[in-house]
Structure 1
Amino acid sequence: MSTQIAVRLPDDVVTFLDEAVSAGVAPSRASLVTEALEREMRRRAALRDLTILHREGPADDLDELVAWSTDQRSAPED
């Protein structure tokens, strides 16, 4: 299911969307906006997970992976 909403975007963002659609990077403005929002949702979920891992610490045989993951928290954002 999807819901149509009205969103006001700056002109340069709309230009970017239109250029991406014209170049065949995305089939529509909506698909590119959806892709960007889904990426942001995944990024925020990963940061929440890293915060929990950092706070709780490793608790099983995945200690090395947890240590590596929490070290990545300071990596630059998209």
Structure 2
Amino acid sequence: MTTVAVRLPDELVQRVDQLVTQGRYTTRTEAVRTALVQLTDDAERAEIDRAIVEGYRRCPPPEPTEADEARAERSIAVEPW
């Protein structure tokens, strides 16, 4: 495991400490690690989303036909919502 030293504003550290005091995290380290995992996961999801959108721009799906819409309506009608 790697140690990373960062400088943070006092107010931010106080807010993290409040989360620890409230029991949402056991330590500052856990809180920061959780935030960084969320940050990197969000960035990865955003990249995947961009790739999907780009794929649809390059190869858009065909317009649905009346038969497609009828099948969709039948599928929705049989769902036990």
TM-score, length of structure 2 as denominator length = 0.66
Structure 1 position 41 matched with structure 2 position 40: yes
Partner in structure 2 of residue 10 of structure 1: 9
Identical-pair percentage: 26
| RCO comparison, higher one (Cα < 8 Å, 6+) | 1
Structure 1: 4+ residue segments shifted above 6 A: none
TM-score between both structures, scaled by the size of structure 1? 0.68
Please, which runs of 5 or more residues in structure 1 have no aligned partner? 60-78
> Shift in Å at residue 5 of structure 1?
1.9
Q: 1:22 maps to which residue?
A: 21
After superposition, the CA RMSD in angstroms is 1.6
